Chain A
Amino acid sequence: MEEPWDITLRIVSHPRYLAIVRAAVESFGLKVGLSEDEAAKVTLAVDEAMANVIRHGYHGETGHPIWLKMTPTQHNGKPALKMVVEDECRGVDATCIKPKPRDPNRPGGLGVAIIKEVMDEMEYETRTDGSGISLSMLKYVTPAKTAGKE
């Protein structure tokens, strides 16, 4: 029996690592059956999540840890891709992280709105040990798109 796919990446907070994370997420998304378009959108959402951690959680400071865990799963009886971004940001209230109202005249604040738009489910929580924030994101992989893979 084949071992299930289960990948955890750890980077330190620096924008230079985001391109590498994007390449890994897009590759993994395609591997578990997302279409090219969906894989690109999921990649964008994860990129936004990681950038938000660096920019807002760590206030642009480099050298702090960020984890990304990617796991194929079943949710409500349907195949899905679960992605969890965790950090050690202090002083951030997970319940206060919400998408900002869309305003085409004001730049910025799009990141969480993009994650919410792209993912089927998302939830910010305080990590169980209280050491930071955990963002869980779920994207369904439709059966038609899993057909023919490998």
Chain B
Amino acid sequence: MARTSALATQRTPLPDGMVVSISGEIDFSRSPALRSELIAVLGDKPARLVIDLAGVPYMDSSGVATLVETLRTQRDAARKLVICGMQPKVRGIFEIARLNTVFIIVGDLEAARQA
């Protein structure tokens, strides 16, 4: 478990990629730590990157922007990004920003492995 500025992340390998599970609120003060973690993970070129947000009760637009950047990197390389475990407030910002149809969003980790 790597802790950076009170944001906790955990990597779990998949046969075809990696799961990054995140815990903590993601706001302006913490999104740089998230961005650093995701850039490190993207360096391994995972065919499937699953971001598990089950431990994230809140996210602001800086967190969303970090995920958009990650999505763009994965898509440009013909690789997949799947988001799972969204709590209501996090789902809310994706809906307000109308990004809920841009990402592959599923309910849980099991569905993310199959998506």
Residues from chain A with Cβ under 8 Å of B69 in the complex = 107
Within A10-41, which residues are at the interface with B (CB < 8 Å)?
15-16, 18-19, 22, 37, 40-41
Within A38-86, which residues are at the interface with B (CB < 8 Å)?
40-41, 44, 47-48, 51, 54-55
CB atoms of B98 and A107 under 8 A apart = no
Within B30-75, which residues are at the interface with A (CB < 8 Å)?
58, 60-62, 64-66, 68-69, 72
A112 CB to nearest B CB, Å: 9
Total chain A interface residues with beta-carbon distance under 8 A:
27
Quick check: is B88 within 8 A (CB to CB) of the other chain? yes
Residues from chain B with Cβ under 8 Å of A102 in the complex = 97-98
User: 20 new A-B pairs (CB below 8 Å) besides A40-B88, A105-B68, A106-B68?
Assistant: A15-B28, A18-B29, A19-B27, A37-B92, A41-B96, A44-B89, A51-B61, A54-B28, A102-B97, A102-B98, A104-B99, A104-B102, A105-B72, A107-B64, A107-B66, A107-B68, A111-B61, A113-B97, A114-B61, A114-B93
